[in-house]
Chains A and B, each alone.
Chain A
């Protein structure tokens, strides 16, 4: 068997694929963050809590209403997105005139409150959620065993990422959105309801977090802290990719997933620090991030 640095190539392929799978979660989450930051200039620290709420929503839909995974995939993001809309209307919209820091403090505080409330109610050990029947099991690819569910995660998140990018960068709606962030007064003068558009954008970004939560539920424990553990990494991804750059967030998400995966083979102890090392290097060489414009 051929080897690279003492690791069989077969194992390496497996790890690359695993990296892509984890990367798809990073991409999905950092996409939502990038949309919100790019169009609203809000650093949404509640993102992790909203991701967790998506997973919990899936759990409740199944256990209280008997609605399965596929329903959850549609309903949970809607529900979580709706909470986002309420938050934006009641709180965030009052902060746009102020410094970034206020939005950051508000969303960070909200995240702590939401996580605390869920932990108080459901404990920290987590709740079980099973993989849907049709996606359980897997195929042996020769070099690794690929669970069907993980394959689905890659496909679904790629589709969502590309779709979002397309809407924002290539459609008229996206053009309005981008224009509204550049010069809201001018766009308003053309008869576009800018505040509503911003509210819906925030709702959409939050719904993306909820969607990632539903997709994560069958793999990880549905746990009040799942977002807190992930969000820090995702922020690093966004910083590396360049704040606000949608394409940057997606590509960096997948890329860093792969790098993290490889670290788990060569030096597993460093697997949860490697992303921050990269972040430090990128910030030194290119402070605006790899794909940032400013």
Chain B
């Protein structure tokens, strides 16, 4: 009896997989894996918010009505490349995941980028920053969606050097992301006639920055550039005010600051910071309406640009799946590059051959406490950098996909 049942179910499984192969949607379901930091310093800027954003994209696309079955799963990569790789391998090989999204932490993202390429799946990066993902590490299976180190460096670096901040000292997170951000910013500073007086590399997730801040102070550089993110940035800014860095005549440049960081610091400490973002919730009616829905489902916490990017990327991915009627990674990514993008958050845009999604970027300044009118009313948009100038020109990235053409 028991044996019979086993045989029957095995037969049923076979039948199912055969059917799936015909429909070209593997396992009959488009399985989206959100792989990010669920528990540590990047958990608020990505984490569960990204899972929610992916689900909202599925809902808005109307996947169920269009007959596409979807499933969203998530996991915590703990900011470790080996943990991230292990999850990606397991997802692709054993759990039928078709696409991995988000993945902040450039170190982890570069590892998943390679695995995705080897297994011919799809990888939509929103959270990770390193511009190498559309440069020398570019892949026919990866799209880099929301922002990158070149965009941040170009936006913020240019603006600061132009207003007289021409000598720099870097506090850099010691891994792929920090190195890329430092490299790209240094290039901008040197190109615009500034100079770099020194740099110090701190371990990821550092609690105490006082030692590094003293070194920055001793360098006499006009600008202390923070090439780090999340909790590292907020701790550095908080302690910089304690050590009188700004009062002593030096200025801080947060090279990658998220809405959640400003929220954690409070406007009192964060006011006046200038940095670059590719999305802010208060840009227009569409972004405000979306934010209202997001916050309601996210315990009142507002979305970061990473969340918005996950939404936008998943929405576009589903459009490409519907158009090609397959969830084959290479085919869908190729289709995503062909289709023009259009969504309520980033508006109309395109995806380049090197995997770079292009859209405008915004140079923002953090408001004074007196200027803030409501919850999360934190930024003033100082300048808009048009899409064609916001990102690194394709020819300069050194992406082998483009060079081959």
Binding site for B on A (CB under 8 A): 8, 10-11, 14-15, 18-19, 21-22, 119, 123-128, 130-131, 136-138, 144-145, 147, 149-150, 219-221, 223, 225-226, 229-230, 261, 264-265, 268-269, 271-272
Contact A14 B208 (CB under 8 A): no
Binding site for A on B (CB under 8 A): 39-45, 47, 174, 200-203, 205-208, 210-212, 214-215, 217-218, 230-231, 234-235, 238-239, 242-244, 248, 260-261, 263-266, 268-269, 301
Residues on B with beta carbons closer than 8 Å to the beta carbon of A230: 207
Q: Give CA–CA (A165, B249) in the complex, Å.
A: 44
Known: A119-B39, A269-B174, A269-B203. A124 touches B47 (CB 8 A): yes
A-B contact pairs, 8 of them (CB 8 A): A125-B43, A128-B268, A130-B268, A219-B238, A221-B235, A223-B231, A229-B207, A271-B203
Q: Give CA–CA (A225, B206) in the complex, Å.
A: 12
> Which among A18, A124, A137, A147 has the highest number of chain B CB atoms within 10 Å?
A124
Known: A15-B211, A15-B214, A264-B211. A123 touches B44 (CB 8 A): yes
Q: Give CA–CA (A272, B244) in the complex, Å.
A: 25
* Closest Cβ neighbor of A11 among chain B residues: B218
Residues on A with beta carbons closer than 8 Å to the beta carbon of B238: 219-221
Q: Give CA–CA (A223, B232) in the complex, Å.
A: 12
Contact B269 A128 (CB under 8 A): yes
Contact B301 A123 (CB under 8 A): yes
> Which among A8, A19, A271 has the highest number of chain B CB atoms within 10 Å?
A271
Contact A123 B214 (CB under 8 A): no
* Closest Cβ neighbor of A148 among chain B residues: B242
Known: A220-B235, A269-B203. A145 touches B243 (CB 8 A): yes
Q: Give CA–CA (A10, B266) in the complex, Å.
A: 34
Contact B214 A18 (CB under 8 A): yes
Q: Give CA–CA (A144, B263) in the complex, Å.
A: 31
Residues on A with beta carbons closer than 8 Å to the beta carbon of B301: 123
Contact A150 B210 (CB under 8 A): yes
Which residue of A14, A22, A130, A221 contacts B264 across the interface (Cβ within 8 Å)? A221
Q: Give CA–CA (A100, B221) in the complex, Å.
A: 53
Shortest CB-to-CB span from A216 to chain B, Å, is 9
Q: Give CA–CA (A15, B268) in the complex, Å.
A: 28
Q: Give CA–CA (A119, B47) in the complex, Å.
A: 12
Residues on B with beta carbons closer than 8 Å to the beta carbon of A147: 242-244
Contact B231 A126 (CB under 8 A): yes
Inter-chain pairs besides A226-B207, A268-B201, A272-B203, 17 sampled, C-beta below 8 Å: A10-B218, A11-B215, A22-B208, A22-B210, A119-B43, A123-B44, A124-B42, A127-B264, A128-B264, A128-B266, A130-B266, A147-B243, A219-B208, A220-B207, A264-B202, A268-B174, A271-B203
